[in-house]
Amino acid sequence: MLCFVLVKINFMALGFFILFALIFIALIAMYIYSLKLKRKTQMSAGKFSLDIKVALEKMTNIESKLSFLKQTEERVKQEKAYEKNPDGRDLLLSKIYQHKASVLFKAQRQKEAIKACSEVLAVEPSHTQTYLNRGSLYGETEQYQKAIEDFNHAELLDPENPDIYNNRGWMYIQLKEYDKALSDLDHAIQLQPSDIEYFNRANAFKELGEWQKAFDDFQISLSLHPQGDSELRSCIQNSIAEIEKNLKNIGQNTNQIDE
C-alpha cells in the first residue's frame, strides 16, 4: 500500500514538472517570436522612414512636404493591417512626426515643431532624441523651465548622453542658476570634452566673474573647435579678447593698490 502511494505521488510530481516545462518552453517561444516581430517591425519602420526622407528631398515647397506627411499619416492610421499590431503602427507614426518636426524646424516654425515633437512622444514616449529636440526648441522660444523638464526626461532614458547635461546646463545659464549650470556642464565635459561643452562652461564662469576660469575654458574650446564654423569661432575669439581686457584691468588695479 505504501509503495502504491509513493508511486502515485511520483507520477503527480512528474506530471507537474512536465506541465511546468511545457509552459516554460511556450513562454520562451513567445518571447523569441516577440523579439523577431519587434526586430522586423523596426527594420520596416527604418525603410519606411528612409522612403519618406527620399520623397521629401524631391520637394521644395514646405506646404507640399507637410501635405505629403499628412496624407501618409492618414494612410497609416487607416491601414487595417495594423489593427492587430498597434505598436507597429505607432512606430510608423513616430517616424512621420519626426520628419514633420524636422521640416518645421528647418522652416523656423518652432512652435509648430514643438507640437510635432509632442506628437512623436504621444506614440513613442521613450524617444530620447525627441525630448532633446523639443527641449532645445523650448529653449529657442525662451521656455527654459519646460526645456529643463524635457532634459530631465531624457536623462532618465539615457543618463550617459552628454548632450543632455550640456543643453540643460545652457538653460540654467539663461535662468541665472549658475551652480546648477556648472554641475551639468562639468558632467558633460567628463562624458564628452568637446568645444561646445567648454564654450558653455566658459560662459557660466564669465557670468560669475571668474575671468581666469572663463579664459581657460574659452582657450580650450578654441583649440578643440573645428575651423569650419567661423561664427562660433569668432564668438570664442571675441570672448577671449574681452576677458583678456578684464584681466588686464584687474592686474592694473592690483598694482595701483600695491603702490
* Residue burial 155-173, b: 16+ Cβ < 10 Å; e: rest: beeeeebbbbbbbbbbbbb
Least confident span in 97-101, 127-131, 215-219, 242-246: 242-246
CA distance 45 to 29: 24
pLDDT at 33 (0 to 100):
41
pLDDT at 226 (0 to 100):
72
Residue range 163-205, pLDDT digits in tens: 999 999 999 999 999 999 999 999 999 999 999 999 999 999 9
pLDDT, mean of residues 215-235? 86
Instruction: Tell me which CATH homologous superfamily contains domain 126-192.
Output: Tetratricopeptide repeat domain (1.25.40.10)
pLDDT at 34 (0 to 100):
46
CA distance 228 to 207: 27
Confidence of residue 3 (pLDDT cuts 50, 70, 90): low
Residue 72: pLDDT over 50: yes
Cell 513562454, residue located = 27
Q: What is the DSSP letter of 209?
A: T
Cell 578654441, residue located = 222
| Residue with the larger pLDDT of the pair 4 and 48 | 48
Confidence of residue 45 (pLDDT cuts 50, 70, 90): confident
Do 225 and 250 meet the contact criterion of CB atoms below 8 Å apart?
A: no
SS3 category, 117: helix
Confidence of residue 51 (pLDDT cuts 50, 70, 90): very high
Least confident span in 5-19, 40-54, 73-87, 119-133: 5-19
Outline where 58-109 has alpha helix (H).
Answer: 62-78, 86-106
Least confident span in 19-23, 120-124, 156-160, 196-200: 19-23
**Please, which residues have CB within 8 angstroms of residue 222's CB and are 6 or more apart in sequence?**
195, 233, 236, 237, 240
Q: Give the type of residue at 119.
A: E
- Measuring CA to CA, how many Å separate 175 from each of 184, 189, 204? 14, 21, 11
Residue range 17-35, pLDDT digits in tens: 566 555 555 555 454 444 4
pLDDT at 12 (0 to 100):
61
